Chain A
Amino acid sequence: MKKLALKELESLFAAIAAQQTLYLPQDDAAGQAQFAAWKEGAARSRRLNTARSAKDLFFPQVENLAGFKREGKSIEIFETREDVRPFTVFGVRACDARSFEILDKVFLKAPVDTFYASRREMGTVITLACTKPDETCFCRSFGIDPANPAGDVSCWMDEETLYWQANTAKGETLTSELPMLEDGGEEAVKAQQEKLHVILEKLPLAQLDLSKVGAGETEALFNRPEWKSLSESCLGCGTCTFVCPTCQCYDVQEFNTGKTVRRFRCWDSCMYSDFTKMSAGQPRPTQLERFRQRFMHKLVYFPDNNDGQFGCVGCGRCLQKCPIHMNIVKVIKTMGGGDDAK
């Protein structure tokens, strides 16, 4: 384990940024944290987590796939892929770090999504352990330890010091290029982890019961009458899906520039009325089916296909951002039954 005095943090960022683009949570004009490229003097956000997730850096909202140009009767297809340069993301929380594992299972399984794959290959993830989780956090329910985040490098921070632990070859390489890091820090990190574990027990969602959802529960949950009242409140906007670190649905669209056609993909949302709409019609005609799809996907279908792993990381973004405060926790509790049914 390595460490660095926090007053030297700027020099660490500068050293990384000298090699490659460094993304870091910074406050935007509205005061929310967002991942943005580090420039000299840029201040690291103090907010617990970014409003948009770290997914954006690996699976951007809009991405060109190909271009078409017509000349006479022939159509030329041209490459629109931009070269992905090596980059580093600092300050990814444990929940978002787990989301990469989930996205990998979707995009890196054959046929491999080469756009995503190249960003995963080029990107180095430096995670940062949480010290002050919010009431909306429930990553623990999915077996994530926010005191011990994954990533190529894991970091911990206290009032004065940054602690640095390389986990992968990519992380080791980066570490070797940063001479300002000194050895030590194990004790302090251990103490911080223990402190956080105590806090985690106190979180309101610490005891979230996932026993009624998960792999194999399709039959039990699909036709539950509660979907109707739950989905009735839903506005059908895409907020939850777009701030979600694990939502991975996209739509492929074309844009006619007047001279050529660009084929691009953009995030889609299962909450949208035209989600999976086909020439034959809409298989999910009302908000009930679309709403159910989102939660069944995360809580049942994904675990079904991925050895029980849930498609949710408990980051709490949808709890904070839903315009009408409908969210995955309310769904889990409703489907979980018992005294705590909402």
Chain B
Amino acid sequence: MQGVKEKALELLASGKAQRVLGWKTGEFFYDLTPGVFESAEEVEREFEYGVFAGANLSKYCIAESKKDGVTAVFLKPCDAYSFVQLLKEYKVKREKFYIVGVQCDGMCDMEKIRAAGISGATAVSEDGDTLKISTIYGEETMKKSDALLLKCKTCKSKKLVIFDELLGEQGEDCPESHRFDEVERLERLSPEERFSFWRGELSRCIRCNACRNVCPACTCETCVFDNHNLGTDNKAAASDFEENFFHIIRAFHVTSRCTDCGECSRVCPQHIPLHLLNRKFIKDTNELYGAYQAGADLESRPPLMDFRKDDCEPSVVYERGGAKG
């Protein structure tokens, strides 16, 4: 995407923003780090935007919101949903941000490139749908669609729900995202199969808390899992139970607030498909209480903060899909 860096320079120069929240260039082509730029020199030297700018900057807005002046922030469509959700929960102040919406065609995942057996990568270039990757062992190519982040493969919307200025075209929802396909596949399995699937996945958890710390919906000052006074803290997955406990409760805590930005699965060092837990909650919420997209607007009531007198009973779970367990 052209013009992102130029926009950052322009906003600083015009005084519309006192600082810019964007991505800093890394050692390699893929390791961009979210960061704050306070001067044009810094932007010139370190600002970079490209197909590896997958990180959602919304969470950083909570800290930026406490600073004086205006911060210019670049939000991709999925990041914008997170921002609106934060706004809805009074975690960020609208007037503190100048939002530049950046249209996005999907971000790439270096882990996918590595998994394809490409090592020693030093540079990348895009050629249509092909990524040309230079490595110290020679040239490699890979289809960009195979290198996409999981969240981008099942992108729910390219609509920028909030912005002051737009780079690129306004997009639309993607009804054909198939984002619930994997959840549905699991639902069709027997409880035994589902149990062994999740045991296999969650047993890899190392409790690094990356999923929680990156999550724009996890904004508690002290997480319940860090709260020693409550007796609910635990630092390690000391038993199978603790793994289930942490992930069920975390997913539940963000139910109807999770915008499905997919950061949890992106950051998991053990590649646990954590987004499936959130999507299960989203799918159930949609089916039982009507379609709802967290972060789509500021007005609607989240399903868990709302009710109808004729809501279904919890026993509906016994009747719905899957074999009897």
Contacts and interface: CB of A to CB of B under 8 A. Distances in A.
Q: In the complex, A touching B, CB below 8 Å?
A: yes
Interface of A: 28-32, 34, 46, 48, 51-52, 61-62, 132-136, 199, 202-205, 229, 232-233, 235-239, 241-243, 251, 253, 255, 264, 266-269, 272-274, 319-321, 323-327, 329-330, 333, 342
Given A61-B206, A273-B226, A323-B267, A135 B28 contact: yes
Contacts of A268: 235
B210 A325 contact: no
B66 interface: no
B210 A323 contact: yes
Given A135-B136, A199-B136, A325 B32 contact: yes
Contact of B208 (A132, A239, A333): A239
Nearest to A268: B235
What bracket does the count of chain B residues touching chain A fall in?
Answer: 35 or more
B201 interface: yes
A326 B33 contact: yes
Given A46-B117, A235-B210, A266-B235, 15 more contacts: A134-B119, A135-B120, A229-B35, A236-B209, A236-B213, A239-B269, A274-B228, A319-B27, A320-B110, A323-B55, A323-B213, A323-B214, A330-B26, A330-B33, A333-B27
Given A134-B120, A135-B121, A242 B208 contact: yes
Contacts of A202: 136
A309 B26 CA distance: 27
B238 A51 contact: no
A325 B238 contact: no
A205 B31 CA distance: 14
A273 B222 CA distance: 9
25 contacts: A28-B204, A30-B204, A30-B272, A32-B271, A34-B204, A51-B270, A61-B236, A135-B120, A135-B135, A199-B136, A202-B136, A229-B36, A233-B24, A235-B213, A237-B209, A242-B269, A255-B238, A266-B236, A272-B235, A323-B210, A323-B263, A323-B266, A323-B267, A327-B27, A342-B25
B120 A133 contact: yes
The 3 A-B pairs of least Cβ separation, nearest first, read A266-B236, A323-B267, A30-B271
Nearest to B25: A342
B36 to A, nearest CB: 6
Interface string B36-76: 10000000001000000001000110010000000000000
Contacts, number: 144
A132 B73 CA distance: 40
A69 to B, nearest CB: 19
B214 A32 contact: no
Contacts of B201: 29
B312 interface: no
Contacts of A199: 136
Nearest to B271: A30
A243 B263 CA distance: 19
B122 interface: yes
Contacts of A134: 114, 119-120
Given A29-B201, A31-B115, A135-B122, A324 B208 contact: no
